[in-house]
């Protein structure tokens, strides 16, 4: 299928995300994959996570991808669409399956964590500049991409390069490095991710991730290696995040969170930061909105969470430094009707 021509130009939305989503099977109880008797079905995908969160927060959003002509593909399209995301540019592939994966409970960083991916030869890995709706990809104020897509195939990498190419009508390019070592079998990951990050306008990268991929230690070293992006966000885990923008650096600590599951927080952080960027909020508030969206996801079992109501998030993001520093967020905090200082849990 060829890209849509100008005569069928899609509506412009706040954010477009391009990338693979998979059906995720989450364990019914802790333990090894070999011992878990049953799984609950969900969805998982960095790019779709971001646009689902943004759509739930009130932003017009679009997901562009490719799925199999199978029941799992139906589930993905229907579920992402249920968040209010435009899924009309998701293509179906009759010859390739939708990717799926199984994971154990608990923190992904733990030694006993297991993930079994069944994505080789998936429909999304066949995405290319020739079979993707490039007009829909470019019809957003922001185009959000990740390094995961670049690792799926040479055609997927070519698609990202085409989408990021300078030219009239290019949206603001948001790029989350999202290094997945298991996907880079040829060792090209560090070089390709460096190229893509340098070509973006807004880059998200974890401090530990930058050390692993490029042997860069500390936020300042990351900025020195990547001076090109107008905005560079270095995520520093529980310590917070540092953003380099407008010629200076700003660090904002993360609030204390009673974590239920440490999954999906990075995507949620990106969604919160992008939401605040689209609203033209100051840099400090952008980081705080990122932390708050991440906290919403950290306090639920899955990758996706209902974001805090905008008025609540705005009140919390506007707290003075001392009060922000004592903020503690636990399960159910996004539904709190109390004043900001009462969101803290004992």
* Residues forming the active site: 267
Rounded distance between C-alpha atoms, residue 176 and residue 14, angstroms = 17
User: Angle at Cα 99 formed by Cα 101 and Cα 94, nearest 5°?
Assistant: 155
Residue 128 exposed, middle or buried by CB count within 10 Å (0-12, 13-18, 19+): middle
Rounded distance between C-alpha atoms, residue 65 and residue 133, angstroms = 9
- Residue 297's region, left for phi above 0, alpha for psi from -120 to 50, else beta, is alpha
Tell me which H or E stretch contains 47: helix 46-56
Residue 203 exposed, middle or buried by CB count within 10 Å (0-12, 13-18, 19+): buried
- Residue 109's region, left for phi above 0, alpha for psi from -120 to 50, else beta, is alpha
Rounded distance between C-alpha atoms, residue 100 and residue 259, angstroms = 26
Token digits of residue 55: 């759509």
Nearest CA among 21, 53, 183, 36 for reference residue 103:
36
Which 3 state secondary structure label does DSSP give 94?
A: coil
Nearest CA among 23, 85, 20 for reference residue 54:
85
């Amino acid at each position: 299928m060829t890209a849509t021509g100008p005569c069928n130009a899609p509506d412009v939305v706040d954010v477009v995300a391009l990338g693979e989503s998979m059906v995720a099977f989450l364990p019914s109880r802790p333990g090894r994959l070999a011992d878990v008797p049953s799984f609950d079905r969900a969805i998982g995908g960095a790019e779709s996570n971001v646009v689902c969160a943004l759509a739930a927060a009130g932003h017009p959003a679009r997901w562009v991808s490719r799925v199999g002509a199978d029941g799992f593909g139906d589930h993905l399209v229907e579920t992402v669409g249920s968040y209010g995301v435009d899924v009309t540019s998701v293509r179906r592939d009759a010859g390739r399956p939708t990717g799926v994966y199984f994971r154990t409970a608990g923190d992904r960083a733990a030694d006993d964590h297991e993930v079994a991916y069944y994505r080789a030869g998936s429909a999304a890995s066949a995405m290319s500049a020739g079979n993707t709706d490039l007009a829909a990809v470019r019809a957003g104020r922001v185009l959000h991409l990740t390094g995961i897509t670049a690792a799926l195939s040479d055609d997927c990498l070519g698609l990202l390069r085409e989408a990021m190419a300078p030219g009239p009508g290019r949206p603001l390019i948001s790029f989350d490095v999202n290094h997945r070592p298991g996907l880079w079998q040829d060792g090209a990951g560090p070089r390709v991710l460096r190229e893509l990050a340098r070509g973006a306008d807004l880059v998200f990268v974890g401090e530990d991730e930058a050390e692993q991929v490029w042997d860069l230690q500390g936020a300042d070293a990351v900025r020195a290696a990547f001076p090109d992006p107008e905005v560079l966000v270095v995520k520093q885990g529980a310590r917070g995040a540092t953003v380099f923008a407008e010629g200076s650096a700003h660090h904002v600590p993360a609030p204390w969170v009673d974590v239920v599951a440490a999954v999906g927080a990075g995507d949620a952080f990106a969604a919160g930061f992008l939401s605040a960027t689209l609203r033209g909020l100051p840099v400090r508030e952008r980081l705080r909105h990122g932390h708050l969206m991440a906290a919403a996801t950290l306090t639920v079992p899955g990758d996706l969470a209902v974001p805090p109501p905008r008025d609540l998030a705005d009140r919390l993001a506007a707290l003075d430094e001392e009060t922000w520093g004592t903020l503690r967020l636990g399960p159910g905090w996004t539904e709190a009707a109390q004043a900001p200082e009462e969101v803290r849990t004992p």
